[in-house]
């Protein structure tokens, strides 16, 4: 009989379950949509990687290898144990959590680990990242195209003191005080995830841009296409008088998003209808249900205007003083500080 090989994890005592779950949760954007997607353990770090994103968090896990992500995360969520113990036995990661225990298939080494290590996060030279620039990239990501036949429009352009994006129907333009001299184009589907992180540093390389909060590294692969920066010319030099969006609309959006919770961040959409007296928010979700609520306006539009807009994006706008203006009969302009968002009607 062959003796089973057991390897003890190089850590005294157990792991705090909630601390580990917090780290695993922070790495989720780097998980792909494929069924077999894994957390990668690298002694003092845990990572996730797909073709567009790589996230790496400092954590003394004590071993190297990979485990399927969904099963590990869900099983850790189901237990109430404060502390868990980990051991490697042949091709399994064994987890002891209170009265429960389970084992998951475990693989040593992989091409993914080589790709993560090739990014050399520990050797990067970091520069300060302003909160304004980070917020500008997130806001502009909501106006990028989803049409992969026009790859340049699927990205967010950053260069000098401006951030731009457009899908030919919407254009977002943010003038930032502290910009990046070298221009780059990053996929909106990647950069939108920064909404959940407080990044303080960045490092721009030839094909990747890296962000860091000191303990977690967020790396996004860049696009090689050239963005049509002339899109900014569609913004009017003079803005017509408009009306302020009511802060109460934020709470309405929270309710509407209950029906959209399973949609990808950039795919969420609500219908807003502006009139002279109020603005209504409506969601119709097939096989789920519908929602409708109105908020009064002190002074709205002369006629009725209907637009579709991402509720997460709109909530970010509502954090600032925001004005809506009707530009002629075919465009609506949202203005919020240094940020402008233009929507073509019809």
For 68, 121, 123, 297, the CA distances from 58, given in Å and listed in that order, are 19, 11, 15, 48
The secondary structure of the chain in percent helix, strand, coil, rounded to multiples of 5, reads 25, 40, 35
Low-confidence residues in the chain, pLDDT < 50: 1-8, 12
Residue 38: predicted pLDDT: 92
Closest CA to 132 of 70, 189, 190, 199: 199
Closest CA to 137 of 177, 172, 181: 172
Report helix, strand or coil for 98.
Answer: coil
What angle do helix axes 311-318 and 249-256 make, rounded to 10 degrees? Answer: 160
The β-bridge partners of 243 are 324
Domains of the chain: 6-118 (3.10.150.10), 128-195+220-233 (3.10.150.10), 243-338 (3.10.150.10)
In degrees rounded to 5, what are phi and psi of residue 258? -60, -35
Report helix, strand or coil for 77.
Answer: helix
Residue 46: predicted pLDDT: 96
Residue 1: predicted pLDDT: 36
The CA distance from 125 to 204, in Å, is 9
Query: What pTM was computed for the model?
Result: 0.88
Closest CA to 263 of 245, 233, 232, 286: 286
Residue 36: predicted pLDDT: 64
For 16, 257, 272, 281, 304, the CA distances from 275, given in Å and listed in that order, are 53, 22, 10, 12, 5
């Amino acid at each position: 009989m062959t003796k089973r090989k057991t390897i003890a994890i190089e850590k005294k005592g157990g792991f705090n379950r909630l601390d580990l779950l917090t780290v695993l949760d922070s790495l989720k954007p780097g998980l792909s949509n494929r069924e077999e997607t894994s957390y990668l353990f690298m002694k003092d770090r845990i990572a996730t990687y797909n073709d567009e994103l790589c996230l790496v968090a400092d954590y003394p896990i004590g071993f190297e290898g990979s485990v399927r992500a969904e099963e590990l995360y869900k099983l850790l969520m189901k237990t109430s144990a404060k502390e868990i113990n980990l051991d490697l036995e042949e091709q399994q990661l064994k987890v002891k959590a209170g009265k429960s225990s389970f084992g998951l298939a475990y693989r040593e080494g992989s091409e993914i680990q080589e790709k993560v290590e090739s990014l050399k996060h520990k050797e990067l030279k970091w520069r300060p990242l302003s909160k304004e620039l980070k917020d500008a990239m997130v806001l502009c990501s909501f106006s990028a195209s989803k049409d992969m036949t026009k790859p340049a429009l699927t990205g967010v352009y950053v260069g000098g003191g401006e951030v731009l994006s457009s899908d030919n129907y919407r254009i977002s333009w943010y003038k930032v005080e502290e910009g990046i001299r070298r221009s780059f184009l990053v996929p909106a589907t990647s950069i939108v995830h920064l909404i959940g992180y407080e990044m303080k540093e960045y490092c721009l390389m030839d094909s990747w841009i890296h962000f860091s909060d000191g303990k977690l590294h967020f790396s996004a692969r860049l696009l090689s296409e050239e963005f049509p920066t002339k899109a900014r010319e569609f913004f009017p030099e003079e803005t017509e008088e408009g009306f302020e969006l009511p802060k109460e609309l934020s709470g309405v959006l929270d309710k509407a998003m209950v029906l959209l919770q399973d949609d990808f961040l950039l795919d969420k959409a609500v219908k807003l209808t502006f009139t002279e007296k109020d603005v209504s928010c409506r969601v119709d979700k097939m096989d789920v249900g519908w929602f409708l609520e109105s908020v009064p306006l002190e002074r709205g539009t002369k006629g009725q205007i209907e637009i579709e807009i991402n509720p997460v994006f709109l909530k970010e706008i509502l954090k600032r003083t925001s004005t809506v203006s009707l530009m002629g009969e075919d465009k609506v302009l949202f203005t919020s500080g240094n940020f402008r968002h233009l929507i073509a009607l019809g």
